[in-house]
Amino acid sequence: MRTRVTELFGIEYPIFAFSHCRDVVAAVSRAGGMGVLGALHFTPEELELELAWIDEHVGGRPYGVDVVMPAKYEGADMGDAEELLAKLQGMIPAEHKRFLEDLLAEHGVEPPTDQAGKALLGWTDVTARPQVEVALKHPIALLANALGPPPADVVEQAHRQGVKVAGLASNARHARKQVDVGVDIIVAQGTEAGGHTGDVATMVLIPEVVDAVGEDTIVLAAGGIGRGRQMAAGLALGADGVWTGSIWLTVAEADTPERALPKLLNATSRDTVRSRAWTGKPARFLKTAWTDAWESENSPGYLPMPMQFMLIADALPRISRSGDGELVTFPVGQIVGSMNQIKPSAQVIYDLIDEYVEAITRLNTITDSD
Amino acid sequence: MRTRVTELFGIEYPIFAFSHCRDVVAAVSRAGGMGVLGALHFTPEELELELAWIDEHVGGRPYGVDVVMPAKYEGADMGDAEELLAKLQGMIPAEHKRFLEDLLAEHGVEPPTDQAGKALLGWTDVTARPQVEVALKHPIALLANALGPPPADVVEQAHRQGVKVAGLASNARHARKQVDVGVDIIVAQGTEAGGHTGDVATMVLIPEVVDAVGEDTIVLAAGGIGRGRQMAAGLALGADGVWTGSIWLTVAEADTPERALPKLLNATSRDTVRSRAWTGKPARFLKTAWTDAWESENSPGYLPMPMQFMLIADALPRISRSGDGELVTFPVGQIVGSMNQIKPSAQVIYDLIDEYVEAITRLNTITDSD
């Protein structure tokens, strides 16, 4: 296959795979796509180890790193990371803490510990920057930002090192803004996607973004793409490639939490919900007792980013390892309904391509008939 | 173009156009697609006149009729139409009437009249049946049902007359149910569609439905389809054709209300919302002061179908002709962001095909490169 992104990166297939798992990133790149490591949950030191591992196992193929630098967040003017953390911790209302601990107790989750140190990781400019510094010391081909346009100086620094910059956008206006600060690739992500997502569906969003950014900017289609027919649809809509995320949660190499995995494998496309209950901004998750509780009459409402995640960060591992399991949720898109089987990452790539070729062949039969 | 639906109906393009306007229906069928008249707002006598007009103006090309027979509604066991109407009217709470009149007064809408006679039109089995009787006296090619599977005897009657039956479905389980009662064509409609719609996006829904109903059932892709790239995407996802609705609201032949038209032309894809504020079931509309008010803190909540529409039916024409215009809304999908120009219906069909051919040509360039 040949599009502007296969040419740009020297990859075989225009398939980008977002994953927090280094094994998946390396496996996808080796299979001819491009793996992109989500850096959010790593300290700079951890990220350094992950990327060194990928460098060793990716067989010289290109890969990328994805960070989260939100354009707007509470505490943007509050100084360095430690100072910011302390100030924001103090701003979390007692009512929210009480609601959370009552909810956890109701579901038999073990009591809190004292360490909430990782709570702020990567969710702000000051915490994401060290990640960018680490990433740019490795031979990455792509630096992606998951929320809004990355700061202009980060774009410049990446470009100086020959690293392309991608930005996620959920509407045409945001996409244009990113192009203005020098972003090379827009990942246009529809509402059906997992994680942070807007409300416009992929079918409507992609042509709008492609037309809005003009011919010089590359657009990847994201949201609802996990099979070859969807890849064909994404390219038909005008994209130069597809950006996938959810489908890598159930591959053989994935390190998806033990209690979340069966829920993902059994869920239908109707079992997700867009909720602020994780990060404070709307993100699509498995609909479970967790998302239900935050929408219930007793809910104190959501805190703004990054405070909602700071509030719950310590609870997440406790929910993962104790209690009745009903609160376990996970960021995932509507494609979860098609994720019913554990396959090696390379097999997922080959299946995508097989079904893609079938879809194109069928389209030509439809079109060439007269 | 050749798919199973172009073969089945002897049409040139696999494009179905839902419209409440007879002029649009006839124009689309004459241009090589298939117009489908929404019967909901017509009395049986009015519907008879509309269909007679279409018969005269469609140039012998096939067309269809769309009715609304919800599988479940309040009062399903309450006898004939008149009896049902009286009983349901009595069940509307005073609180809801008060909220509505206060809202209208706030926006300068003229006071109520005494006639609410058309309030129940077509929303129930007993009121939709006479529409079906009228429709089947005309040379229609397709009878579509907009909510759930049509009653088995209606399917049989249509089949006896050689009329194909289509049913709208917003998830794979409902689609299979419709196939079980003999529906020939599933219109799989994603959440981005206008009017009644589920929460799964078209990108995810179409492959799921295609796989769920099996090879013998024809699937049309609906939701977010208004341009040639989207038509190509719908067919790439496995559909045999596309079902469009919103885009016919802004064609030259449309009888869209005068105060709604500029709002539709100016709206972006982010200006719609799924709301129960019109019919009691979730339907996508332009987001205006109307949908906002029913979601506000003062809202008494929504009544079940068909009572919500009975409550508001008399207010709709008043909102259309008086007041500050802020309450004016209209059922429309996210594709409204692309509806910025008034064009003749035939031109819309030709533009769809032109862009479709471009998209297929580009896909082949991408795919044939190695």
Tokens, residue B54? 């279409």
pLDDT score recorded for residue B117: 47
Selected residues 26-85 of chain B with any CB under 8 Å from a CB in chain A: none
Instruction: Give me the interface pTM, i.e. the ipTM.
Output: 0.93
> Helix, strand or coil for residue B190?
coil
**Euclidean distance between CA atoms B323 and B315, whole angstroms:** 11
Cβ of A203 within 8 Å of Cβ of B204? The answer is: no
Written as tens digits, the pLDDT of chain A (370 aa) is: 999 999 999 999 999 999 999 999 999 999 999 999 999 889 899 999 999 999 999 999 999 999 987 665 566 666 677 777 788 888 899 999 999 999 999 999 998 776 544 555 555 666 788 899 999 999 999 999 987 778 888 999 999 999 999 999 999 999 999 999 999 999 999 999 999 999 999 999 999 999 999 999 999 999 999 999 999 999 999 999 999 999 999 999 999 999 999 999 999 999 999 999 998 999 999 999 999 999 998 999 999 888 898 899 889 989 999 999 999 999 999 999 999 999 999 999 999 999 999 999 999 999 985 4
Cβ of A223 within 8 Å of Cβ of B208? The answer is: no
Residue ranges with strand state E in chain B: 15-19, 34-38, 64-67, 142-145, 164-169, 185-189, 195-196, 218-222, 241-244, 272-275, 283-286
Please report how many Cα atoms fall inside a 13 Å half-sphere around the Cα of residue B1, on the Cβ side.
29
Amino acid at A44: P
Q: Return the DSSP state at B271.
A: S
Tokens, residue B39? 């019967």
CB B88 within 8 A of CB B75: yes
**Chain A residue whose CA is closest to B335:** A204
Residue numbers in B near A14 (CB within 8 A): 366
Residue ranges with strand state E in A233-312: 241-244, 272-275, 283-286
Cβ of B236 within 8 Å of Cβ of A232? The answer is: yes
Q: Which tens digits make up the pLDDT trace of B92-108?
A: 999 999 999 999 999 99
Residue numbers in A near B295 (CB within 8 A): none
The structure's pTM equals 0.94
- Where chain B has pLDDT below 50, the residues are 116-117, 370
- Max alpha carbon distance in chain A (Å)? 71
Within 10 angstroms of residue A107's Cβ, the number of other Cβ atoms is 18
Query: Per-residue DSSP letters for B23-46?
Result: HHHHHHHHTTSEEEEE-TT--HHH
**Chain B residue whose CA is closest to A210:** B229
**Euclidean distance between CA atoms B185 and A266, whole angstroms:** 28
Tokens, residue B79? 């006898």
Distance from CA of B73 to the nearest CA of A (A): 22
The strand pair at B283-286 and B195-196 is best described as antiparallel
pLDDT score recorded for residue B73: 59
Helix H or strand E segment including A7: helix A4-9
Which of B237, B268, B357 shows the shortest C-beta gap to A233?
B237
**Euclidean distance between CA atoms A181 and A321, whole angstroms:** 43
**Chain A residue whose CA is closest to B353:** A367
Q: Which of A71, A7, A9 is nearest to A35 (CA)?
A: A9
**Chain B residue whose CA is closest to A354:** B367
Cβ of A204 within 8 Å of Cβ of B236? The answer is: no
Residue numbers in B near A202 (CB within 8 A): 201, 203
Q: Return the DSSP state at B368.
A: T
Within 10 angstroms of residue B23's Cβ, the number of other Cβ atoms is 18
Q: Does A2 touch chain B (CB under 8 A)?
A: yes
Strand partners, A19: A37
Within 10 angstroms of residue B80's Cβ, the number of other Cβ atoms is 9
Tell me the C-alpha to C-alpha distance, in Å, between residue B252 and each of B24, B30, B242: 9, 15, 21
**Euclidean distance between CA atoms B277 and B327, whole angstroms:** 12
pLDDT score recorded for residue A117: 47
Q: How large is the C-alpha radius of gyration of chain B?
A: 20
Q: Which of B53, B19, B253, B69 is nearest to B138 (CA)?
A: B53
CB A204 within 8 A of CB A170: no
Distance from CA of B275 to the nearest CA of A (A): 14
Selected residues 146-205 of chain A with any CB under 8 Å from a CB in chain B: 171-172, 190-192, 198-205
Characterise B75 by phi-psi region: left (phi > 0), alpha (psi -120 to 50), beta (else). Answer: left
Q: Give the residue from B170, B191, B192, B204 with the most A CB atoms within 10 Å of its CB, the best one to mutate.
A: B204
**Euclidean distance between CA atoms A344 and A233, whole angstroms:** 24
**Euclidean distance between CA atoms B240 and B209, whole angstroms:** 12
Residue numbers in A near B366 (CB within 8 A): 1-3, 14, 235
Q: Give the residue from B202, B203, B240, B369 with the most A CB atoms within 10 Å of its CB, the best one to mutate.
A: B203
Within 10 angstroms of residue B214's Cβ, the number of other Cβ atoms is 9
Residue numbers in B near A233 (CB within 8 A): 203, 232-234, 236-237
Cβ of A201 within 8 Å of Cβ of B198? The answer is: no
| Domains in chain A with CATH codes | 4-73+123-254+344-368 (3.20.20.70), 81-119+257-331 (no CATH)
For B339-365, give one letter per residue: b (16+ CB within 10 A) or e: beeeeebbebbbebbebbeebbebbee
Strand partners, A164: A142
Cβ of A201 within 8 Å of Cβ of B224? The answer is: yes
Q: Give the residue from A204, A271, A272, A355 with the most B CB atoms within 10 Å of its CB, the best one to mutate.
A: A204
Q: At what angle do helices B22-30 and B44-57 cross, to 10 degrees?
A: 30
Selected residues 256-275 of chain B with any CB under 8 Å from a CB in chain A: 268-270
- Which position has the token pair 């009437």? B97
Distance from CA of B72 to the nearest CA of A (A): 20
**Euclidean distance between CA atoms A144 and A160, whole angstroms:** 16
CB B96 within 8 A of CB B66: no
